[in-house]
Amino acid sequence: MRLVIVESPTKSITLKRFLGKEYQVLATMGHIRDLPKSEFGVETENDFKPKYIIPKKSKKIIQLLKEVVKKAGLAVIATDEDREGEAIAWHLTQILNLNLIRELSFMKSLSRQLKKP
C-alpha cells in the first residue's frame, strides 16, 4: 500500500478517483502544527528554537497518519506549491519521522509522477 498525503479533503477525493486501490489518500485538513498563542513561540535562550504545538483539531489526523505510515511502503507528500504547502510538508516529515519520501506538488501531473518507480 502506498500513502499520498494532501492538504484538503477535496483533493483527496479527486486523487482517489484516478489512483488505483494500492493508494490510500489522506488529507491533513490544513496546518498540523503551530506556535502557541498563549506564550512566546520561540526559545530565546536556545538559539531561537521554535516551540511547536499540535492544535486539538489536528491530533486525530496525526494519529491516523502515524498508523498508516507504519504500514505504507511509500509515503508521498503532495502539498500545494506555495509557502503554506511547503510548511505543511516539512511539519509532516518532522512529526511522522519520514526519512525516505517523494515530495510532489499537487499542481503537477500526479498520476504520471506516482507511477514512476
HSE-up (13 A, CA, CB side) for residue 65: 27
| pLDDT tier at 107, thresholds 50, 70, 90 | very low
pLDDT at 31 over 70: yes
Average confidence (pLDDT) over 80-94 = 88
pLDDT at 75: 86
Name residues whose C-beta falls within 8 Å of residue 51's C-beta, 6 or more positions apart in sequence: 35, 36, 39, 41, 42, 43
Total of domains in the chain = 1
Q: What is the average pLDDT value for the chain, to the nearest integer?
A: 83
Cell of 37: 498563542
Q: Which residues pair with 42 in a beta bridge?
A: 50
pLDDT at 66: 93
pLDDT at 115: 56
Handedness of CA 62, 64, 65, 67 (dihedral sign): positive
Average confidence (pLDDT) over 8-33 = 89
Domain containing 82 equals 2-114
CATH code for the domain in which residue 65 is found: 3.40.50.140
